[in-house]
Amino acid sequence: VIQSSSPSNPGLGFVHLSGGGTPSNNAPLSATGYVGFYLKVHPTGVAAGDLQTALLVDDGSQLESATLTDVIADGQWHLYQWNLDDVHHWTSFELGNGAIDQNTVTLHGLYFTSQRNLNFTVFLDMVAHYPGGELVHEPLPGDYNGDLLVDAGDYLLWRATFGAHVNFGSGADGNGDG
């Protein structure tokens, strides 16, 4: 759990350091595939677009930042991930060159920023790297809307698509027969 207020200077951010507070404790990762994490943010005073996050990596020369992504502050778990192989997913951070140009990277930290003064609580789970492609979660039976919860939202989707033919991920299909 990260509890913080944004800096007194809106527009600046803060970094939640990895590796026990020192990134040098981190094991090198191959610079291929996807890297990301799950976040859940309590929406206390946080509106859409108020808070952004990125992952900071060290590619051996300087720090690179994943492109900033809007945080969904709805109290639900959401996956944020970036492709290490895609130059459009990376920008310069602290004299970096905006590209992952080494064979390995280490995680430096999670970066949060806002243009407003905010007070928020962030829950972090499963910082992960998968060299083979995108990070995906195992489907949760009954989680038809993909928010990692089985709740009324799933029931409403099930009810709205009951009896209809659906493609994977586009409706409620508990037995997988389409």
| pLDDT for the residue numbered 7 | 44
Helix (H), strand (E) at residue 154: helix 152-161
- Assessment of whether the complete model's pTM goes beyond 0.85: no
Tokens, residue 108: 């430096």
What pLDDT, in 10s, does the model give residues 126-149? 888 999 988 876 667 788 877 667
Q: In terms of DSSP bridges, do strands 51-58 and 104-114 run parallel, antiparallel, or are they unpaired? A: antiparallel
What pLDDT, in 10s, does the model give residues 43-97? 666 777 788 899 999 888 788 999 999 988 888 888 999 999 999 999 988 778 8
Nearest to 53 by CA among 104, 127, 135: 127
Q: How far apart are CA 2 and CA 142, in angstroms?
A: 30
Residue type, 18: S
Helix (H), strand (E) at residue 120: strand 119-130
Residue type, 165: H
Range in 2-16, 51-65, 149-163 the model is least confident about: 2-16
